[in-house]
Amino acid sequence: MQLSREALLQAYRQMKVIREFEERLHSEIQTGEIAGFTHLYAGQEAVAVGVCEHLTPADKIISTHRGHGHCLAKGCDVNDMMKEIWGSREGLCRGKGGSMHIADTNVGMLGANGIVGAGAPIAVGAALSNKLDGPDENGKLRVAIAFSGDGACNQGTTFEAMNLAVVTQAPCIFVFENNHYSEHTGVDYAVGTSKDIASRAEAFGMKVWRADGTDFFAVYETMRELLDYVRAGNGPAAVEFDTERFYGHFEGDPQRYRGPGELDRIRETRDCLKAFRASVTGARLLTDADLDALDAEVMDAIEGAVETARAAPRPTAEDVLTDVYVNY
């Protein structure tokens, strides 16, 4: 597989946007300016981007508790997302959703979710909708993707969704992001199938893939293969990506469950952005200067998003009553 220079730059830019979005949120949250619960995705960027770079707006995704990365990778506007997290009435969901409940159906992003494991059956429904619409002009089915973590994989909804997808041959893809922690509990303890989530999907009769989720190229190539399979009408499929979560379950989580030096070690050896840079510069596809220039551009974009969010108009008491059918 050889990606064009443009595709490489785009992939790196997307991953960097997610990373800086998250790093900036991490520091802004310390100031107390952002309300509510925030669950950061930093560390897992290669998965969101490696999956979503293959998709069009007609392909749908359903995200998780840890949804910022999926939203950005699927094309949600960075300024509108920042405004939403700040709670502005100009936010992507008019300040009614906040960090955990961001959606933009215009780009095929059908929602992050405050309930762990709720997304998988919704993705099956979106996939059934795509199946009903039939193949595109190239004879390929539009798909729906359920992102789930290793925590969500233990919910009954995930099992029901996998079975229903197989029974109905829905073009649904279950993307399991195993970051080894469901909230504050380790995968070795909580996942009762030898730490292997993909084998569960296999048991439902699905073809499955497994790959290193910190390696953008592994994710991208796996998804290319998997998408060819599902778009051709072979029914659902699943993939498990082994990945890393750089922050706690939620912002403010003291992470006492981490091993000594664990966070430093994964930042050093399992950082998908560092790995991408080493790979493309090593192969002389891009230079450090190319990537540094992109870094600077992204930092400006994030700074701009934060300034925009900070200055954006706040909602009023009247806004509580809009967007619900009964007008009191």
Interface residues toward another protein, by CB under 8 A: 60, 62, 91-97, 101-105, 110-111, 113-115, 118, 120-132, 144, 156-157, 160-161, 163-164, 167-168, 322-326
Closest approach of another protein to the CB of residue 301, in Å: 23
Closest approach of another protein to the CB of residue 83, in Å: 11
Q: Do the bridges between strand 60-62 and strand 144-149 make them parallel or antiparallel, or are there none, so unpaired? A: parallel
Give the nearer residue to another protein in terms of CB position, either 43 or 121. Answer: 121
Under DSSP, is residue 302 helix (H, G, I), strand (E, B) or coil? helix
First and final C-alpha spacing in the chain: 58
Distance (Å, whole) CA 240 – CA 187: 13
Give the nearer residue to another protein in terms of CB position, either 163 or 281. Answer: 163
Give the nearer residue to another protein in terms of CB position, either 88 or 214. Answer: 88
Give the nearer residue to another protein in terms of CB position, either 115 or 232. Answer: 115
Give the nearer residue to another protein in terms of CB position, either 156 or 254. Answer: 156
Closest approach of another protein to the CB of residue 171, in Å: 12
Give the nearer residue to another protein in terms of CB position, either 121 or 213. Answer: 121
- Counting Cα atoms < 13 Å in the Cβ hemisphere of 104 gives 21
**What tokens were used for 251?**
């912002």
SS (H, E, C) 242-268: ECCCCCCCCCCCCCCCCCCCHHHHHHH
Distance (Å, whole) CA 41 – CA 268: 17
Distance (Å, whole) CA 98 – CA 80: 11
Distance (Å, whole) CA 303 – CA 20: 9
Distance (Å, whole) CA 52 – CA 35: 29
Closest approach of another protein to the CB of residue 185, in Å: 21
Give the nearer residue to another protein in terms of CB position, either 72 or 275. Answer: 72
Residues in the chain: 328
Closest approach of another protein to the CB of residue 54, in Å: 18
Which residues, in sequence order, are bridge partners of residue 240? 176, 210
CB atoms within 10 A of CB 149: 26
Give the nearer residue to another protein in terms of CB position, either 38 or 113. Answer: 113
Closest approach of another protein to the CB of residue 24, in Å: 23
Closest approach of another protein to the CB of residue 270, in Å: 33
Distance (Å, whole) CA 52 – CA 181: 23
**What tokens were used for 225?**
């293969």
155: left (phi over 0), alpha (psi -120 to 50) or beta: beta
CB atoms within 10 A of CB 314: 11
Closest approach of another protein to the CB of residue 244, in Å: 29
